[in-house]
Amino acid sequence: MSMNESLKQRMATLLQALNERVYEKEQFVALALLTALAGESLFLLGPPGVAKSMMARRLKLAFRHGTAFEYLMSRFSTPDELFGPVSITRLKNEDVYERRTEGYLPSATVAFLDEIWKAGPAIQNTLLTLLNEKVFRNGATVVPVPLKGLIAASNELPAQGQGLEALWDRFLLRCLVGGVTDRGLFEELIASSDESEPQVEEQWQIGDDEYAEWQQRASEVQIPYTIFECIHALKEEIEWYNQRLLNEGGTAASAASFGAVSGGASERGSAWGGTAYGGTAAYSSAPLYVSDRRWKKSVKLLRMSAFLNGSDCIRLSDCALLTFALWSEVDQLPVVEEMVQTAIRRSAEGYLLNLHPLEQDLEELKERLASHHSVREMDDPGIELIDSYYYQVEGVRMKERLLLFAADYRQLPTAEAQLFYLHKDKYKANCCILKKFDPVLHAQVPRSKLYKLQRGSRSVYINGYEYHLVCCPDAPPVPVAPPAEDFTQRFQTARERLERVETEAVAWSAAETAYAESHLFLGERERNFLRQLLRQQQVTLERYRHDLNELTDAHRIENEEYPHA
């Protein structure tokens, strides 16, 4: 087992232990671990009693000798209650203003702050420094803090105009947490009497040295161009959405015409039931704003996700986590989810599998074949049509008029001769007609009445001699025939491109499927989307194969009708 595979197995074992007796919150525990290892913070939005604080206590167990600090904020909370009381002894004896931080947030490995938005300005400012720089200014001393992960929770979002925007932006991932919805799991939850913390073996826990080493190794994870294109596509989606809101007055009703979100989960209700995003987008009047800092930190998080999943580069499956990083209002969640899925789909089709050139090849083939066919079928308006069906050959040494079916003339080859026989028409007085010769049907026709015909320019070659056809008075110039195209080569090129894409798609699909199905941080919702995406790629390629086969067959049949034309 490689080092990367060993690390992923270790993380899977650790998460399994952390999620013991956890019901429908497994992904949130995993995301809490991911944000902590990436050096970021997590915000949980949900009502009381849905295990938000439990996640912080479980996260503490992921770290060797980890400690946790929990606090329920109120409007009357003071910095002393979070960061420790001022040491009266040092202030009195040494005239030093310093806090006793042991047992408080500055000394904790993991912190949980409930009702975070009730914090006053003094607490907010200290938290900003602590989250940004991982240091605590204790009087005149700047002290590094051991904090790995901060989880904040509330049953509401930060109020506008209260100066909370900077603190809100520091929470990279934002999750909506609800109650248990599965009947069986709910029964198991309420019947359980074990409130103890799970036992996590020390060999699975993360030490301080490992924490620093993993952050360094994660920073070396590659970012393929496909991922850059996915992020560019996502930024374009956000810009387009914001512009639409601006153009239509920023109303939720008008923005609803943006479209529907793919998926089919139950709608999120006011009772916080479950954590699905809904089957149809409920659009916010607020625009989506994503700062450059948030994009940068999001990529850092994706790198850590890829590293912990044993990959040396970010994959499209990792990008599904961006849904948790880009929303600011609850009703933006389905919009953001749709944007992320659209960006991943565009990146897979356009840049990874390179489907667009293949689709363009097929469309161009269809257009050129249709044009080629129409030219071959087109009547020459300059040739006079006799009795609605015939062209008349002039200049022959015959008493009778010599006629040729117009349809047969259009099908005549220009390079190789085709056999016709001379037929005396008893229904048309003083007329002979050149008709196609079939050796089975016309076995009795004497060889002396067989002629070799080739098509010319408003003329027909009979046994190698050119005879002109009767043309209309003031006939327009002869239509210029397009240069002959080598459709065989075109079909071969398209087929080779399709086979190359199919080979790459099979390899990519197998690798991405295995990666997504065993991904440590994706939930079932994200996996379902990726399964649907991978199936859709296969369906698209099968459709391309079907279209190419149909075009090939149509071209073959046409060549049989118009041999060597």
Q: Token match 């050139």: residue?
A: 357
pLDDT for the residue numbered 368: 64
Please say whether the beta carbons of 353 and 544 come within 8 A.
Answer: no
Angle between helices 26-37 and 3-18 (to 10 degrees): 130
Q: Identify the pLDDT of residue 444.
A: 87
DSSP structural state of residue 350: I
Last-in-domain residue among 146, 181, 207: 207
Within a domain: residue 88?
Answer: yes
Distance between CA 481 and CA 420 in Å, rounded? 25
Do 417 and 535 belong to one domain? no
Q: Which residue, 521, 64, 465, 478, is CA-closest to 314?
A: 521
List pLDDT tens digits, range 377-400: 456 788 898 888 889 999 998 888
166 and 18 housed in the same domain? yes
Co-location of 18 and 137 in the same domain? yes
Which residues, 6+ apart, have CB-to-CB distance to 274 below 8 Å?
24, 178, 179, 181, 265, 266, 268
pTM: 0.72
Half-sphere exposure of residue 312: CA atoms within 13 angstroms, side-chain side = 2
- Number of domains making up the chain: 3
Is residue 457 assigned to a domain? yes
Which of 156, 186, 207 corresponds to the end of one domain?
207
Residue 41 lies in a domain: yes
Are 89 and 130 members of one domain?
Answer: yes
pLDDT at position 365: 66
Burial class from Cβ neighbours inside 10 Å (0-12, 13-18, 19+) for residue 30 reads: buried
Are residues 125 and 90 located together in one domain of the fold?
yes
Strand arrangement, sheet containing 459-462: 390-393, 401-405, 431-436, 418-424, 450-455, 459-462, 465-468
Task: Supply the DSSP symbol for 546.
Answer: H
DSSP string computed for 85-102: -B-HHHHHHT----B--T
Q: Let me know: does 317 contact 257? Beta carbons within 8 Å.
A: no
Give the pLDDT of residue 446: 87
The verdict on 438 and 488 lying in the same domain is no
pLDDT on residue 285? 66
What was the pLDDT predicted at 375? 46
- 102 lies in the same domain as 3: yes
Kindly give the parts of the chain with pLDDT less than 70: 1, 250-285, 351-359, 361-362, 364-379, 479-487, 554-565
Residues 448 and 507 in one domain: no
CATH of residue 62's domain is 3.40.50.300
What is the pLDDT, as a whole number, of residue 45?
93
Burial degree of 177 (CB within 10 A; 0-12, 13-18, 19+): buried
- What sections of 143-220 are H helices per DSSP? 165-169, 183-191, 208-218
User: Is the same domain home to 454 and 542?
Assistant: no
Tell me the three state secondary structure of residue 340: helix
Q: Hey, what are 341's tokens?
A: 């899925």
On whether both 65 and 154 belong to a single domain, the answer is yes
Q: Does 414 fall in a domain?
A: yes
- Domain final position from 183, 207, 231: 207
173 and 71 co-located in one domain: yes
| pLDDT at site 284 | 59
At 284-327, the pLDDT tens digits run: 568 899 999 999 999 999 999 999 999 999 999 999 999 999 99
User: What pLDDT score was predicted for residue 51?
Assistant: 85
What is the structure's pLDDT at 294? 94
In angstroms, the CA 460 to CA 457 distance is 8
Range of the domain at 412: 390-468
